[in-house]
Structures are given as C-alpha cells and as structure tokens.
Structure 1
Amino acid sequence: MITKLILLYTLLYINVSCSMKLEYNKYNHYKYYDIKGDKSELDHLKNFMLHKDDSLLYIGNIKSAQIIVPPELNSAFLEIAKNDKVNATLLFDDISEVIRSEKPSILRSKKKGFSWDAYYDVDDIYNYLSNVSRTYPQWTEVIVGGQTYEGRQIRGIRINTPAAEGVEKPVFFIESGIHAREWIAPATTTYFINQLLTNSNPNVTRLRDQFDWRIFPTVNPDGYHYSYVVDRYWRKTRSISSNGCIGADPNRNWDYNWGQHSSSNDPCDYQLYAGSCPFSEIETKTLSSYISGIDNLLFYVGFHSHAALLLLPYSDSTEHVHNYEDLVQIGKVSLEYGYQVNKVMYSGPGTAAETLYKASGGSMDWVRYALNTPLVYTYELRGSSFHWPPEKIPEQGEEVTQMILGLAIEAENLGYFYSDFS
C-alpha cells in the first residue's frame, strides 16, 4: 500500500510539473568568475559553494574552475576566496546581459532566416537540416540517429556524394551538443555542414567527397531545448528519476568504465549524475545502437566547449591506445590548420586524464573501445565560460572546417584511407 501511494505521489508530481508553464531563469545580476588556485583551496571553496547552492559550480580542471555566483552569495564568495588565497577574476558582472544577447530577435529571424550570427532552438536547427536536404537531394538526406525521453528524434544529415563504382567511402561521424549548454558546438557544426555543401574551395569539396558524412548537430535535443527556453546552464538530459529529480549527464552514461570517475550516483546532482546504469538514457541507448550499425566507420569526432583543447581516448586513463602516436600526429596537424585561421592554438592533443581530469562513461571512449574505431577525437571549442559571441560563430566555424581538413589530410598521409582523387 505504501509503495502504491509513493508511486501515485510521484506520478502526480510529474504530471503537475509537466503541466506548469516553465519560467525562464534570467540569471539577473549573477556574476561569473574564473578561479585559480591549488587543488585543496579550490576544493574548499567548491564545498562551501555547494553547501550554499549545488547547481552553480562548473569545474574546469584541477587548478582552475569557473563559477556563477548569485547576488546574495557574492560577498561570502569573495570573502572565502580571499581567505583561501584563491585568485577570482570577474568574467561577467551580470551574466543575464550575455544570455540576452545570444538569441535572435523575432523580427530579425523573420528577415534573415537561419544564419550564423545567433543561436537557434532545436526546431530551427532541424528545419535547417530539412531545407538543406531539399536543396541538395542528390547527395544529402536527413537521418535519425536515435530518440529522446521527451519524444524527439535525434536528427542529423548524411552527405554522400557519388563515388566510383564499387568504392565504399569511409564514414566520418560528427557528434555535437551532447551537453546542452555548450551552444557553440551545434552552431559550428551547422556552419561546417554549410561549408561542405556551399564552399567551392577545392580543398573543401575534396574533403566533402572523400567521406560518407553522418553529422548530428545536437544529440541531446531535449536538454538543448530546455537550456534555450528555461535554464541556460542546463547540461543533462530530461529524463525523470524515481525520486522526481531530472536528467542524467549523457556523456557519463555510455558503457565504458561507467560511474568510475567524474560522475555522480545522485539523481539530483545538477551536472554529473551518470544515470541509473549504462545506457539508462534513451538518447545514449538509441544513438549507440545507430552507431554500432555503421559499416566502415573511420572517424568519430565530438564537439564540446570551452577549453580550446583536443582530446584523445581514453578519458579516464593515462595509458595510451595502440595507435596513440598516430592520433597525436594527426591531431597536431589538425590544430596547425586551425591555427592558420585566427592564430589561436589549441592545447593538446592528449587524454582528458592528462590534460583536464579523469572522466568515465563518455561517448568517445565507448566508440573507441566497443567498436575499435581507429580515429576518435573530442574538440573542446573556444569561449569564455559557456558563452561565445553569436556574431563570431563564423570565426570558430572556419577553424573547425580547417581542423577537420587537417585531420583528413594527415590521416590519408598515414595510410588510414585512400581516396580515388588524383
């Protein structure tokens, strides 16, 4: 009887919550700080802030972090930072002003349509993919890589220009937006799609024609939509746990060393809940099934933000995969190509365990381990916090285009594939 009452209460809670109109969190007068110090100092400050508010801390690595501070906690934060000798640099005095600048106005949207000087919601991104497939019907199609908790499809685009008879192109898979709040990742991914389809530069057209492309701008569309309309800093999925808490980190939910490092078993953890078990989230379960069905998968590339860094598998180990030196060589060429665009050099390549922190249960590691995919990378794009000025999206889009071009060129030089171009 008690169990039935608990279940009934939970269902009522869910139904009431779902029927309520969600109010957008504007983060008015919240300050955004970059903090640096020794690990023990940062841990002390972290624990203090978590005790006050467990939803607003974003760790970068063992010696630095970034944190949003609500106005009522700002004085206490500065005092403990001073006492702990933590260097706190104010990045944004009022983060709400930055958030307001990211979205297109209604008037501008009607006038310009989809472009790369603002950030768009999921439906707009999906409409762009549909429009692209109608514009280039001979060699593009909208594809579905999985499903979501709220009933959306995980949509992407396949670009596969005609090849010589009997030639099976290697597959280049791009996963983007697995963390909802990292908006620059889907934006640069759609920019790259546009480059593949419209750029007449022979290097780009050759890149397009070398591979069978499967590109997914947002593999966590529920979370992305929620970050767009309710909470700009939402990271997880939108599944509901038995205790009513919402979401799991979809990049901690894959079946590789699940739950070991940089993850939480608390469903109410705002950032790092790894799910109830590997592939508990329908997004990761269905997407992994789709990826497993791809023949001739050569490249798997993920886009995140915001560390300006290139990562290699495995994320929770300092031991290196068998072709690690090749991955490093190819990655270095990629970063050199990107550097030529804006003269900004990314760090790496290296494992997350060596350059950031150990993290388990990520998509990149599962793809490498379970499918033995030869060339697997994760790019942490640039930005200050999880923000990048919308008018500068093309700047990173051009970098991404060149970095992927560098990957392909050096991979071919090392014999990972052979194209039929003279």
Structure 2
Amino acid sequence: MVCLVLVAVAACLGAAFAGRHDIYSGYSVHHVSVQTAEHSALLHSLEESLSLDVWQHGAPDRAAVVMVAPQHRRRLLRTLDDHDVPHTTHRADVAKMLEEYDARLAAWRSSRSSRLAPFDDFPRYNDVDEYLERIALQYPDLVTLVNAGPSWEGRDIKYLKISTTNFTDASKPIYFLDATIHAREWVTTPVALYSIHRLVEDLRAQDWDLLNDVDWIILPIVNPDGYEYTHTNERLWRRTRSYRPDVNATCYGVDANRNFDVAFNTVGVSSNHCDQTYPGTEAFSEPETRYVRDIMLEHLERIQIYLNIHSHGNWVLYGFGNASIPDNGVQLFHVGAAMGAAIDARKLPIALFYRVGNSAILLYPTSGSAQDYAQSIGIPLSYTLELPGYGVQFEVPPEYINQINSETWEGIAASARLARSYYQARV
C-alpha cells in the first residue's frame, strides 16, 4: 500500500513539474567513448563549435558524457561516426529526465518520517545559512561564523572556522574545503555540511585527532546565486549570475572555476560569453572567486590542504592544468591516493573506483581553476575532488546522499591525517 501511495504521489508531482524544464526540451545526452588522444581532441573541438555541455570528460575506462542542443545533434553524431568514435544515447529528452527526477525527489522527501538535516538532503541556500548560524551559536568555543561578503545578487557568502584554539596555534595546519562553485553540482553541498557535522555535532572517538591537530575552514556554497537559480529556473546552470550588459546583453555569469588568476584565459575555456566555460573578462571578476582567494591569502602560511569539491566522475585531481607537475608532485599523489583509497574502501559496488593524478593528463587542460591557483600561491596540497555520479550525473538519487557523505568524509579524514606528517608552518 505504501508503495502504491508513493507511486501516486510521484505521478501527481510529475504532472505538477511538467513544463518546468521546457528550456531543455529536445536536448539529448550521449555517452562517447574516448579511447585515444585523437578522440579527446575531437570532442574538445566539438565542445566549442557545437556548444556542447560536457557533463563528464572521458578516459579509456569511462565514457565522456555530453549534452547537445537539438539543432546540433545530427552534426555531433555524424562527426563521431565519421571518425569512428563509439557513442550511445544516454537520455533522449533531458526535459523529461529532469521532470521525472523532480517527481522522484519530491516523493522521497514526502516519505521521510521526520524533518531532514541539511546534509541529508539537497538544501536550499536559506537552509544552509540557518544551519551555519545555528552551529556557530551552539558551539561558540569551537566555531566561528564568517561572512565573506555579498554575492553578485546580494546573498551573504558564509563559512565556518572550526578550531579548538581559535586559529591561534601555528603548529596546526589548516584544511580549507569548499563546495558548489559550479551551481548544478548539488550533491557537493551536503558533503561540506556533513564534514561540519562530523567535526562539531558528531565528533567520534576515532576523529578526535582531526579536531585537536587540524584547524578547518569550510565554505559550503561558493556560488549561491547560481545554486539558487538551479532550484528555481535552470536546473543545469553551471556559472555565476553576474550581469554585465556592456560586455554581453544576453548572457549571464562566468565559469567561476576558470576565473582565478593562474594562466587565466589560456586553455580549456571558451571565448563565447554564453558557453559553460567562459572565464570572464578578467581574473577575479566575480566576488565569489575573490572571497575564496582572500581566504587563501589570509591563511596562506598555514593552509596545508585546499579541497575544491565537485560532481561528478570519481576523480582526485591536482595541478597544473597545463600538464606540468608541481615540485611536490610525489606528496600530492601520495595524499591524493590515500584520499581516493579511503573512499574506495567504502564505495558502493556500482560506483567507479577513484582515479588520482594530474588534471590535464588524466582529463583535459584547463586554466584559471581554483585548484591551480591555490597550488600556484604556495598551498602545498591542492585538489579537485569529483564525487560519484552513479551513471546519472548531476541527478544523484537522494537515497545516495548519506553514502556519498560518509565515504567522502573518510577520504577527507585520511588526507588530513597524512598531510599532517608533511606540515611545516610557512612563517
């Protein structure tokens, strides 16, 4: 009977959500087998010429996933066929896919017997803000709430500093992690909030060292304007929401993870103001990226790890985006591999194993990323973490949130412990 009720609820909700995602009507998603460097180069050229939205960059052991507009679909498939690149249709109608997901998410929420904690769900901006305020109020001896400043649209961008010594002990390294720099990557925010929960509300005996020996900075939503926009208007919006009509009167925002001042606007970006990887007119044009920069610079002498959390693909990536390796490349790989292995030990059977390595070598060249900027200014261990997608990309079933939270926390904990052995305060 319960199942029948949920099916009925989902059907009603599906009807209610119909039309919400009409902007994606006719868009389709395709898996593309990337087996050679030539395949990868071809896909990158098509990304710009056809304005493809790349949901996952491919590797020999995992397919690339791309969304294409209906007017470009035939050309994409024909070009892939002409070059003997294997491909399959993953979703024939993105609008329908998103409507079905909305209904499933709403039915799942209605089936919960009690109110969900923010880290058990995909919380809205206000829910996250309330959680940060509450934690700071309840644990004043451990937690400091910081308002970095307003986003482009005026939302406060807040983060927590978690420390047993109020950040006064230089013998303790700082672990700085942030999430949701790309607006549509909803599952990254719960991971950041769950990390706060495990350090403050649910500190377990085995994790006392993480609080005693490490200070933490956790910023759950770097891009709140874009994040809210994905909830209200365009589910697959990736960029910020800045508007500069003198630059372009119709296109909003930039790719915040191409907006940092490191090899800015040189590779892995688009010159088209409307494309997903448009980097902006200049480095740090966005208030959101300036806040991340300012946190790094304020605590540069002690930040040992910077972790920029993304979704999806099961990757632990480090710099540089031009395929050069930092001087401490062995340490970067060592700590990154420990992170990936700790997560893999707890992953679901359907999830891919994490791959660890240089972002340009494993995936594709980039410029202006947060990961590379942190590395370039002297943060020793800077990573991009790509969470699991379970074959459904950004529409992670809510049933998997707790799994991703708990397994990722183990990876974060492992990296914090191992990095501690490398720490020397840079004073």
Q: Does 1:33 align with 2:30?
A: yes
Superposed displacement of residue 289, structure 1: 2.1
> Aligned partners of 2:168 and 2:366: how far apart in 1?
43
Change (3 A) 1:110 1:282: farther
1:60 is aligned to 57
Change (3 A) 1:157 1:107: same
Q: Secondary structure at the match of 1:255?
A: coil
Superposed displacement of residue 347, structure 1: 3.6
Change (3 A) 1:165 1:41: closer
Query: What does 1:110-149 correspond to in 2, within 5 Å?
Result: 111-149=114-152
Q: Residue 366 of structure 1 aligns to which amino acid in structure 2? A: Y
Q: Does 1:202 align with 2:205?
A: yes
- 2:347 pairs, out of 326, 329, 342, with 342
> Aligned partners of 2:237 and 2:45: how far apart in 1?
20
2:266 is aligned to 260
2:359 is aligned to 352
**Conserved 8 A contact 1:45-1:80:** no
Q: Does 1:291 align with 2:296?
A: yes
> Aligned partners of 2:270 and 2:394: how far apart in 1?
22
Q: Which moved more, 1:225-234 or 1:109-118?
A: 109-118
- 2:279 pairs, out of 274, 279, 284, with 274
1:416 is aligned to 423
Q: Secondary structure at the match of 2:317?
A: strand
Change (3 A) 1:158 1:109: farther
Change (3 A) 1:330 1:50: closer
1:399 is aligned to 407
Stretches of structure 1 lacking an aligned partner (at least 5 in a row): 1-22
Superposed displacement of residue 65, structure 1: 2.5
> Aligned partners of 2:113 and 2:134: how far apart in 1?
16
Q: Residue 270 of structure 2 aligns to which amino acid in structure 1? A: S
Q: CA RMSD in A?
A: 3.1
Superposed displacement of residue 77, structure 1: 5.8
Identity %: 27
**TM-score between the two structures when normalised by the length of structure 1:** 0.82
Change (3 A) 1:263 1:100: farther
> Aligned partners of 2:227 and 2:236: how far apart in 1?
10
1:7 is aligned to none
CA deviations over 1:275-318 (Å, ceiling 9, x no partner): 1011111211233123211252222111112120111121222x
**Conserved 8 A contact 1:39-1:62:** no
Q: Does 1:182 align with 2:185?
A: yes
Change (3 A) 1:120 1:101: farther
> Aligned partners of 1:145 and 1:323: how far apart in 2?
31
Stretches of structure 2 lacking an aligned partner (at least 5 in a row): 1-18
2:380 is aligned to 374
Change (3 A) 1:107 1:350: closer
Q: Residue 323 of structure 1 aligns to which amino acid in structure 2? A: N
Query: What does 1:91-240 correspond to in 2, within 5 Å?
Result: 91-92=90-91, 94-96=96-98, 97-102=100-105, 111-162=114-165, 168-240=171-243
Change (3 A) 1:31 1:55: closer
**Conserved 8 A contact 1:104-1:118:** no
**Conserved 8 A contact 1:104-1:120:** no
> Aligned partners of 1:416 and 1:285: how far apart in 2?
26
Change (3 A) 1:80 1:198: same
> Aligned partners of 1:222 and 1:133: how far apart in 2?
23
Superposed displacement of residue 71, structure 1: 6.5
Change (3 A) 1:43 1:142: same
**Conserved 8 A contact 1:312-1:351:** yes
1:324 is aligned to 329
**Conserved 8 A contact 2:58-2:65:** no
Superposed displacement of residue 87, structure 1: 2.5
Change (3 A) 1:253 1:207: same
Give the count of matched residue pairs: 391
**Conserved 8 A contact 2:173-2:302:** yes
Superposed displacement of residue 82, structure 1: 4.6
Q: Residue 297 of structure 1 aligns to which amino acid in structure 2? A: I
> Aligned partners of 2:45 and 2:170: how far apart in 1?
57
**Conserved 8 A contact 1:158-1:213:** yes
